[in-house]
Amino acid sequence: MNTLSLSARAGLLKPSPTLAITSKANAMKAEGIDVVSFGAGEPDFNTPQPICDAAIEAINQGFTKYTPSAGIPALRKAISEKLSRENGLTYSNDQIIVSCGAKHSVYNTVQVLIDPGDEVILIAPYWMTYADQILLAGGVPVIVQASAENGFVPDYDQLKAAVSSKTKAILVNSPSNPTGAVLPRETLKEIAALALRHDLWIISDEIYEHLIYDGEKHTALASLGSDVYDRTITINGCSKSYAMTGWRVGYAAAPLAVAKAMSNFQDQVTSNPTSFAQRGAVIALGLPATSMEAMRVEFEARRDLIHQLLTAIPGVKMLKPKGAFYAFPDISAYLGPDLKSDVDLATYLLDEAKVAVVPGSVFQGFGHIRLSYATSRADIEKGVARIAEALSKRIA
Ligand SMILES: Cc1ncc(COP(=O)(O)O)c(C=O)c1O
């Protein structure tokens, strides 16, 4: 017997096709090849200067030591005020746990709610991290496939059919990565009703809440009633709204017992998020809602541009996303015996067109590809023209 084996848990995570494509794209770039990359899940804007200044000042003042694990009081207060001001939600500081990015907040949440064998309902296409984190906790992701025809909005019967005696939670992400779908308020109410009827937790990842278009309004799931609030863990963070991906500041707002468990958990795993990053986040959370409006407006214009260019390619079908910064076109018309899957097609686009995209199957969105439009309009035009050219060599 090999006594030096790894844990079974380590074997749960499979190498991701995204990483394979990204490392190939990077290797091509290193060789001097002009690759257009639509892979990045982060704004191409700089963090606003006042946020940077606050962090620099914090370092210069020696604010470089451990802080309370769950975050500095000033930041928990700023988050509580943001939730009240923007979402109509009341949370005490104790109900807010600041973590090293929203990804970490989701991880903590799953770890304190899910036991081995518990089922968690995921609405596909979904951000792949959710499924992997559920598996790491020994949980079982149960997938509800939302169709492009329905705007990637699941219907109630589908959701109901996914509930079993083992269901512990339902995870919602609106606006969505990768589809850009914004779930209608009615659907959120149906999800809430289902959770109430079957006594489920709701994990609501609202990280793209500020990146929303066409005058759509974000609804915080926890705001749908006090009984919903009592079973909802809201996940959010600074990465996408304030162009702060590298700062690693995310948070969860939760019922007190959940928040306490997350705080204890974080105590033993990471301790606090970076001290001076938290000082920057205090400034970010206090900025008026209009302060990042120029970024949102630019993303909306790019969304229009990429939608127009992609849907002009024969055979490519695409919904106009209502939020986030991803296009998720259906390219299945271009699959065939030689390119059998979206992974093959993404590889073909990289080799043939020198364009990096993420295969849709990574998100359980088969026959699609994901393009992040958090990149310049010039790159959007150049990259989509190259895709059109490469696809034109195949029969649509
Ligand atoms: C839906 C969703 N939630 C959470 C995150 C993670 O954000 P953070 O940088 O705060 O960890 C991402 C990042 O891509 C995301 O797409």
**Domain residue limits, the chain:** 10-33+292-391, 49-290
Q: Please tell me if the CB atom of residue 237 comes closer than 6 angstroms to any atom of ligand 1.
A: yes
Q: Please tell me if the CB atom of residue 102 comes closer than 6 angstroms to any atom of ligand 1.
A: yes
**Residue of the nearest CA to atom 1 in ligand 1?**
177
Q: What is the mean pLDDT of residues 199-227?
A: 97
Q: Please tell me if the CB atom of residue 279 comes closer than 6 angstroms to any atom of ligand 1.
A: no
* % of the chain exceeding 70 in pLDDT: 99
Question: Can you name the residues that pair with 372 across neighbouring β-strands?
Answer: 326
Report residue 236: phi and psi, to 5°.
-155, 180
Q: Domain 10-33+292-391 - what CATH class?
A: alpha beta
Asked whether the beta carbons of 313 and 387 are under 8 A apart, the reply is yes
Candidates 207, 241, 242, 326: which one to mutate for ligand 1, based on the most atoms within 8 Å of Cβ?
A: 207
The structure's pTM equals 0.96
Give the SS3 label for residue 52.
helix
Binned at pLDDT 50, 70 and 90, residue 76 comes out as very high
**Over 80: is that where the pLDDT of 17 sits?**
no
Give pLDDT tens digits for 141-188.
999 999 999 999 999 999 999 999 999 999 999 999 999 999 999 999
Q: Please tell me if the CB atom of residue 103 comes closer than 6 angstroms to any atom of ligand 1.
A: yes
Index of the ligand 1 atom closest to the CA of residue 245:
9
Quote the CA–CA distance of 299 and 180 in Å, as a whole number.
12
Quote the CA–CA distance of 284 and 325 in Å, as a whole number.
20
Candidates 212, 233, 234, 240: which one to mutate for ligand 1, based on the most atoms within 8 Å of Cβ?
A: 240
Quote the CA–CA distance of 311 and 334 in Å, as a whole number.
14
Q: 49-290: which CATH topology?
A: Aspartate Aminotransferase; domain 2 (3.40.640)
Asked whether the beta carbons of 264 and 291 are under 8 A apart, the reply is no
Compute, in angstroms, the gap from residue 352 CA to the centroid of ligand 1.
30
Q: What is the DSSP letter of 324?
A: T
Compute, in angstroms, the gap from residue 16 CA to the centroid of ligand 1.
17
Candidates 177, 234, 326: which one to mutate for ligand 1, based on the most atoms within 8 Å of Cβ?
A: 177
Binned at pLDDT 50, 70 and 90, residue 21 comes out as confident
Q: Please tell me if the CB atom of residue 238 comes closer than 6 angstroms to any atom of ligand 1.
A: no
Give pLDDT tens digits for 311-360.
999 999 999 999 999 999 999 999 999 999 999 999 999 999 999 999 99
**Residue of the nearest CA to atom 12 in ligand 1?**
103
Compute, in angstroms, the gap from residue 207 CA to the centroid of ligand 1.
7
Compute, in angstroms, the gap from residue 172 CA to the centroid of ligand 1.
13
Quote the CA–CA distance of 136 and 208 in Å, as a whole number.
25
**Over 60: is that where the pLDDT of 1 sits?**
no
Index of the ligand 1 atom closest to the CA of residue 250:
10
Q: Please tell me if the CB atom of residue 18 comes closer than 6 angstroms to any atom of ligand 1.
A: no
Q: What is the pLDDT of residue 16?
A: 74
Element of type H or E holding 55: helix 49-60
